[in-house]
Amino acid sequence: MSLHSLSIHGYKSIANLNDFELRKMNLLIGANGAGKSNFISLFRLLAAMMEKNLQAYVQDEGGPDALLFGGRKRTKQMSAQFSFGRNGYRFGLKPTADNRLVFTEEVERFSGFYIPNHESLLGRAHDEARLGDSTSHVSAYVRPEVRSWRIYHFHDTSNSAAVKQPHTSNDNLRLKPNADNLAAYVAMLQREHPDAYQRIVATIKLAAPFFGGFVIRDPLPDLVQLEWYEQSDPDTPRRAHLLSDGTLRFICLATLLLQPSARLPSTVLIDEPELGLHPYAINLLADMLVQAAEATQVIASTQSVELLNSFAPENVIVVEREGEASVFKRLEREGLEEWLEDYSLGELWKRNVLGGRPTR
């Protein structure tokens, strides 16, 4: 189920964000350091909580002071609240003397016909989330939704990247956040969803005309590795290390966004998906994001003028710094109509009509 609204207090550069509305398509724009990535990283924190890895995540991020707005001397605790459908989830976290974060509260909410606005306190002072283990009837509604929000990050295309390494062929339940299981997932799509598979291959060919298709061996071995062939040489299999970084990222994006809608997470989050892509591939990416948003909720950040040009003002959230704090503002068509008669949305961004540009 899509997120309806979100509140964040005291997290990284986000001092206060109250009941911010989220729609089916949400494109965050702003200068470097404005807070776009911090907004998306909150969902990484949430994912770590759901896997009972909160404390490890806190240490990996540099401790509580790196996560609290201005550090613990300035912010005594952080909190976030997620509202989706009739359900909600809220938590607060405060730092400890031994550099951990512990819960000040963890609350789930359900509002049904017979049980309006029922809140259930899962606990206080614990150091790992309890939602995943809760047996309450409310958790049965809240837990699967929270777990269905997924962040994808396809930036690592180095030789040691997991997407280029062998993995088991049965690792195909979901496309993983870094596309670690891309070869197994593509093989599953080819077998179980051939129409979607062909759509993915055809779109990749638009961005990379030399690409002929994936090599999927039959029978599928226990260990698989991403293989492909060139349009001009279908008899020679090639591995992922022969793909450019941009092409490999585009393959990951196409697989994610063009998979069958029933397999998409309820909310897809992507940080700067345009990284390393040719302008034509960015236009294809925009089409894929728009198509995906018809079936699921999409939250993406970008610094690409080309990508922004493909969206309506009401899809766009401008992120700016006011002092040390990030401020979020959704664009609306009203007030921009005269500008849009002569300029694209990207041109207005470059001219600083929309905001979200570097300032002194």
- Position 359 pLDDT exceeds 70: no
- Position 247 pLDDT exceeds 90: yes
Q: pLDDT digit string (tens) for 122-150?
A: 999 999 999 999 988 888 889 999 999 99
Work out the pLDDT band at 111, boundaries 50, 70, 90: confident
H/E segment holding residue 286: helix 279-293
Three-state SS string across 58-120, please?
Answer: HHHCCCHHHHECCCCCCCCCEEEEEEECCEEEEEEEEECCCCCEEEEEEEEEECCCCCCCEEE
What's the rounded Cα separation, in Å, for the pair 73 and 6?
25
Q: Work out the average pLDDT over 331-342.
A: 91
Is this prediction's pTM over 0.85? yes
Kindly state the percentage of the chain with pLDDT values over 90. 88
Q: pLDDT digit string (tens) for 14-30?
A: 999 999 999 999 999 99
Take residue 149 and report the two structure tokens written for it: 């929000």
Contact (CB, 8 A) for 121 and 130: no
For residue 137, the model assigns a pLDDT of: 82
For residue 358, the model assigns a pLDDT of: 75
- Position 9 pLDDT exceeds 80: yes
Q: Work out the average pLDDT over 40-59.
A: 96
Work out the pLDDT band at 114, boundaries 50, 70, 90: low
Take residue 253 and report the two structure tokens written for it: 């994006």
Using the 8-state DSSP alphabet, how is residue 342 labeled?
Answer: T
Contact (CB, 8 A) for 54 and 101: yes
Take residue 94 and report the two structure tokens written for it: 């405060």
For residue 340, the model assigns a pLDDT of: 92
Take residue 120 and report the two structure tokens written for it: 């259930």
Kindly state the percentage of the chain with pLDDT values over 70. 98
Q: Work out the average pLDDT over 250-278.
A: 96
Q: Work out the average pLDDT over 207-221.
A: 96
- Position 210 pLDDT exceeds 80: yes
- In the chain the domains, ranked by start, together with CATH numbers, are 1-148+312-360 (3.40.50.300)
